Amino acid sequence: MNLHATLLLFLAPLIVTIVHARLFADDFIRLPSEKSHSVGTRWAVLLAGSNGYWNYRHQSDVCHAYQLLKNGGIKDENIIVFMYDDIANNEENPRPGIIINHPDGDDVYHGVPKDYTGEDVTVDNFFAVLLGNKTAVKGGSGKVVNSGPNDHIFIYYSDHGGPGVLGMPTSPYLYANDLIDVLKKKHASGTYKSLVFYLEACESGSIFEGLLPQGLNIYATTASGPDESSWGTYCPGEHPSAPEEYDTCLGDLYSVAWMEDSEVHNLQTETIQQQYHLVKERTSNGNGNYGSHVMQFGDLQLSKEELYLYLGTNPANENFTYINSNSLRSSSKAVNQRDADLLHFWHKYQKAPEGSARKIESRKQFAEAMAHRMHVDSSIKLLGKVLFGIEKGPEVLNEVRPAGQPLVDDWDCLKTFVRTFETHCGSLSQYGMKHMRSIANFCNAGITKEQMMEASSQACPTFPSNSWSSLGNGFSA
């Protein structure tokens, strides 16, 4: 053995030790300011799926999210915003041209791109934008997620929801199986490195449970479990309350939790997982009556990544350190998302002068909303009894599948049954989405299309005249 070979043999263990130590130092000792920023392009899709002033909070959430991303250095060309845009200049808005997401908050509406507004806020446009398919987009700015294999995508969706479905200001609504199919197509196209999805809606856990597979490099969190409501916050009468002049909730509990957390931490050092736990704690609100259980799905290892990969980072926060305790204030009370419209109409009625047109209008709005709710609830209950009998009907309506299973096996059946119900009984609307599980259970129990049609005609012999029941905008499915 020559001298060089002897020296190499002698030094090999030392070289390995030095290399390992260097790798360890790079991974664990590197300072935040030394971290590489050579990530791919950050893309964001922000969607508020409702309209109407009583749903103020959804567009407020999305506008706040835009400001957060903008302050994080993400360019407008890479942020795509869907919002109906009927809030800021609504005659009900006490501060015309301004939207706030916190009782003491600044205007979050200024500068927000109007990519897709009004009737352009559709499921088809959302899917086309996500897939980067410019030719499939109808209306709007035409901006799409033109991402590449090294890019990071953030999706934030705030709206009403129900088991297996998310609301839209237009018809049809967004169904879980269609969303998952689009996410799979996006992954198959090889046009992103990783994708994070934050979802605010009632029963939002049902959108991913049993449906979102691992291996797509997608991590999702939801405001609630698959069988519970999410909650509005900064509402009239709660603490902290919306300013006196507001008759509506300013935000949603899960949404303001992740955004307000992002504003008080250095996102170069805070991980998605750390934020998840803080948001989960705040959203549960320490009280099962006024909170929900935040959940996570998909490739959970992505949660170990720092938030700046998706949200950017605000230079003003570079000296902030992560504190492993929740400094975010929780609400003493929150409002069930589905009751936020009633809260708006009620406060509007209470504050209106006696005998005024506003008093009369708000009383009518409240009464019509309540009548619609009672009609939908009673129609679904009667439908269950017609199909399964007086005793078994309620049991089938309320059945919840074991954890890990999707809402329904045959999604086409669910959509067909929704259309059948609405043909005879009127629109489910944002409130009636709560009954999607019951309708899915009809499919799971083997009810045929003919049986559903006959039972619906018996449950609703006349079509309701209530404006909430109108099918003027089309079917929900």
Positions marked catalytic? 160, 202
Q: What backbone torsions phi and psi does residue 112 show, to the nearest 5 degrees?
A: -70, 125
Amino acid at 258: W
First to last CA, the chain: 79
For helices 411-425 and 449-459, what crossing angle results, to 10°? 30
Q: Give dist(CA 98, CA 47) in Å, integer.
A: 19
Amino acid at 465: S
Q: Which of 61, 445, 429 is nearest to 258 (CA)?
A: 61
Asked if 61 and 101 touch (Cβ cutoff 8 Å), the reply is yes
Q: Give dist(CA 163, CA 414) in Å, integer.
A: 11
The position carrying tokens 């989405």 is 433
- Give the number of other Cβ atoms within 10 Å of residue 56's Cβ: 29
| DSSP-based three-state secondary structure for 262 | helix
As given in the structure block, the two tokens for residue 313 are 């980072």
CA atoms within 13 A on the CB side of 71: 18
| DSSP-based three-state secondary structure for 45 | strand
As given in the structure block, the two tokens for residue 173 are 């609504």
Which segments within 150-274 are labelled E, that is strand?
152-158, 161-162, 165-166, 174-175, 194-200, 218-222, 231-233, 251-252
Q: Give dist(CA 268, CA 289) in Å, integer.
A: 35
Element holding 71 (H helix, E strand):
helix 56-71
Q: Which residues contact 362 (CB under 8 A, 6 or more apart)?
A: 345, 346, 348, 349, 352
Element holding 274 (H helix, E strand):
helix 272-284
Amino acid at 230: S
Q: What backbone torsions phi and psi does residue 468 show, to the nearest 5 degrees?
A: -65, -25
Amino acid at 254: Y
| DSSP-based three-state secondary structure for 399 | coil
User: DSSP secondary structure string, 115-156?
Assistant: SB-GGG--HHHHHHHHHT-GGG--SS--------TT-EEEEE
Asked if 220 and 199 touch (Cβ cutoff 8 Å), the reply is yes
Strands 165-166 and 161-162, how do they pair?
antiparallel
Q: Give dist(CA 376, CA 369) in Å, integer.
A: 11
